[in-house]
Structure 1
Amino acid sequence: MSVSAKINNAVDMDDLDSALELAEAWVKNDQNEHKAWSKLSFVYEVHGNYTNAVCSIKKALSIKNDYPPYYFKLGYNEYKIGNYKEAAEAFSICMTKSTLLNDGYLLNPSKIALAKCCLLSGDLEKASQALSEVPENTGTWLDGRYLAGDIKREIERRIKKAKPGVQI
């Protein structure tokens, strides 16, 4: 069984201390393995230690910076600690990398996550732009499930509240 599979198994068994030990040992034994750093980030995330998860995924990105899921993971962990601008930047890079690689798997989820971060940081225009081509029933997970349509309606509500009488 691979180290990654052993870590997943420990997490599945709710043995987070063993998962952390295995992930830390993997990183220690192979400092240049981006998958090890990503797995360590995952274990920190499961532990609720989002700050360390951010540090670990940044290390994975320093080794392999063309992999969109790592940017999504970075954005997610930044979001979880309330760093909405940093999260938005990571989700934006995820969108760009996904587009360049013609990989649509994370494209709409990263647009929705970007819009949510922009909404939370008060950039309603950027939030609206991020969702311009996303179907309303498309969703992603952050601290709950968010549908593009729900975020679009929240943006509209906030714009109307800020500028009464404006048609959207």
Structure 2
Amino acid sequence: MRRKSSFVLFLLFLLISVKSFGQTAIPKADTKWFEEVRFGMFVHFGAYSVLGAGEWVMNNRPVSGKDYKNLQNFFNPQEFNAEEWVKIIKDAGMKYITFTSRHHDGFSNWNTQQSDWNIMHTPYGKDLIKQLADACHKEGIKLVFYYSLLDWMRDDYQYETGRTGKK
């Protein structure tokens, strides 16, 4: 019994010690708004939307990078209406939208000169990010971008060799 009590006291002491050395997050002014608004929308939208199988389709299905790049010829979101999206978001009480400017596939939803693998080289040919930014600004909705540093299309990203963990 004494041994059990000693063990419980030891665990209790350990928990108290760990807590005292733990760090307390102090919100920064530039992120405090995020904690306060609490309601927004995260949109994954890009060339992968053509297949309707999510942004990880190239990883989850046997699709080569070369074949995947053909999606650029078919991505044509003609019914995209940034003003309508933002109005729906605002009417629902949301305060922000997070939008994928670029996911791991490296496809950019804005007019960039860094690569031809972007929205401007699709049948749609219009800058989605600019349209969304203009609509958000007009309605007072905060716009946040998801931008992935990973890029499955870069030569130095070893997707085709399997060094990504995919066998």
Larger Rg belongs to: 2
Return the TM-score normalized by structure 2: 0.27
Return the TM-score normalized by structure 1: 0.27
Structure number with the bigger relative contact order (C-alpha 8 A, sep ≥ 6) is 2
Q: Greater strand percent: which structure?
A: 2
